[in-house]
Amino acid sequence: MLNNSLPNESLPDENGHFGPYGGRFVAETLMGPLQELTEAYTRYLKDPEFLAELDDELHHYVGRPSPLYHARRWSEIMGGAQIYLKREDLNHTGAHKINNTVGQALLAKRMGKTRIIAETGAGQHGVATATVAARLGLECVVYMGSEDIKRQSTNVFRMKLLGATVVPVESGSKTLKDALNEAMRDWVTNIDDTFYIIGTVAGPHPYPVMVRDFQTVIGREAKQQCLQQAGRLPDALIACVGGGSNAIGLFYPFIEDEDVAIYGVEAGGDGLETGHHAAPLNAGRPGVLHGNRTYLMEDDNGQIIETHSISAGLDYPGVGPEHSWLKDSGRAKYVAINDDEALQAFHDLTKIEGIMPALESSHALAYATKLAPKMKKDEIIIVNLSGRGDKDIQTVATLEGITL
């Protein structure tokens, strides 16, 4: 069962720094509210009543713990390490996103906020936010780039059915990064009654640490389940990294287990050499965006550049600051998987295990197919299956020239 506590170790420091990364780079109007949020979060993190309510919601509403599934057939075919899948796709709303939105929404309620806002790219975080807002009777406004709205019409309708207002964002590249800018603008304007639920481990302090803490339920469960089912810790962890919340959720409880190798998989798009990708840790450099210092995709003048990935959830020019720190410190390794490799893994897992993965998670799976054959048969890899692939069947069909 769930641990009745959340981790909050030495990093970040009190101003949200992970080494040179993270921090709080926002206009002055948000500094007070971010401090207030930090104080509230720190207080409730130690409040047994809050933690009990969170556990109860995760258990009965989200459906946790999610299984750790041994993909025997797929492991056998690859002929190397045993692959276990952490089944975040089986959560309510079909992805890991809800672990965080439940936590933040409960916090919003405690802080007396009546209005919830969120940004969304593919729509998964928007749906997870609209869902908990409905559950708690809170007003909900979701900002979404107008380009993304066109690509993800089903999720837009889901959010509307859940009672949320979806606001199209027409500025900049009209995608996730612009939706985040617009949500920040809303927050700064409606700060008194509004709680901003950020969907990933980026943004100004305390978001990277708060979202991490809510997502570590993934890694804490996986650790316990692996010990129970296999009798030992895994040899490697693999997770996809856009902003990086599912990845940090799996990795964090294993950081001090030095024998566990950690791999984060970025979106290689058409290939790193083409420049059409979303892999700042592999091919970007440090800079400041959306309230934190981290690796970014930017041009020589410091303008943020447009990214490309087959998977909308990884299509983001930044990454959580803790990942930047884990990269520089060498504790985690960050690799890239191209669109076509991810698509192949999507098909493989669907046909071989009867599990249709999200295109985001398919990046992690594709890296497993590279790593597993190089490992021994008694070694263990845990792949975070962060979401289910139903939302992506339209994209896959279009790519393959099929009209549904």
Partner 1 sequence: MSRIANCFNDLKEKNRKGLIPFIVAGDPQPGFTLPLMNALVDGGADLIELGVPFSDPMADGPVIQRGSERALVHDTSLRDVISMVVEFRKENKQTPVILMGYLNPVEVMGYEEFAKAASEAGVDGALIVDLPPEEAGELKEIMVKYDIDLIFLISPTTNVERQKYISKIASGFLYYVSLKGVTGSNRLDTGSVEESVTTIKQHSDLPVGVGFGIRDAESAANVAKVCDAVVIGSPIVELVGNLSDDSETSMKSITTYLSTMRQAIDVI
Query: Which residues are designated catalytic?
Result: 97, 119, 386
Residue count of the chain:
404
Give the containing element (helix H, strand E) for 294: strand 291-296
- What distances in angstroms separate CA 104 from CA 107, 212, 213, 396, one per listed residue? 5, 12, 11, 33
Q: Which residue lies nearer to partner 1 by CB, 1 or 27? A: 27
Q: Which residue lies nearer to partner 1 by CB, 143 or 214? A: 143
Q: How far is the CB of 392 from partner 1 (least distance, A)?
A: 27
Residue 38: alpha-carbon gap to chain centroid: 21
Residue 342: alpha-carbon gap to chain centroid: 17
Q: How far is the CB of 400 from partner 1 (least distance, A)?
A: 34
DSSP symbol at 88: G
Q: How far is the CB of 154 from partner 1 (least distance, A)?
A: 28
Q: How far is the CB of 49 from partner 1 (least distance, A)?
A: 29
Q: Which residue lies nearer to partner 1 by CB, 146 or 181? A: 181
Residue 183: alpha-carbon gap to chain centroid: 18
Q: Which chain residues interact with partner 1 by CB under 8 A?
A: 15, 23-33, 171-172, 177-178, 181, 184-185, 188-192, 286-291, 296, 298, 300-305
- Residues whose CB is less than 8 angstroms from the CB of residue 159 and which lie 6 or more positions away in sequence, other chains included: 120, 123, 126, 127, 130, 142, 166
Give bridge partners of residue 195 from the DSSP assignment.
Answer: 116
Question: Are 255 and 265 in contact, with CB atoms under 8 Å apart?
Answer: no
Q: Which residue lies nearer to partner 1 by CB, 83 or 179? A: 179
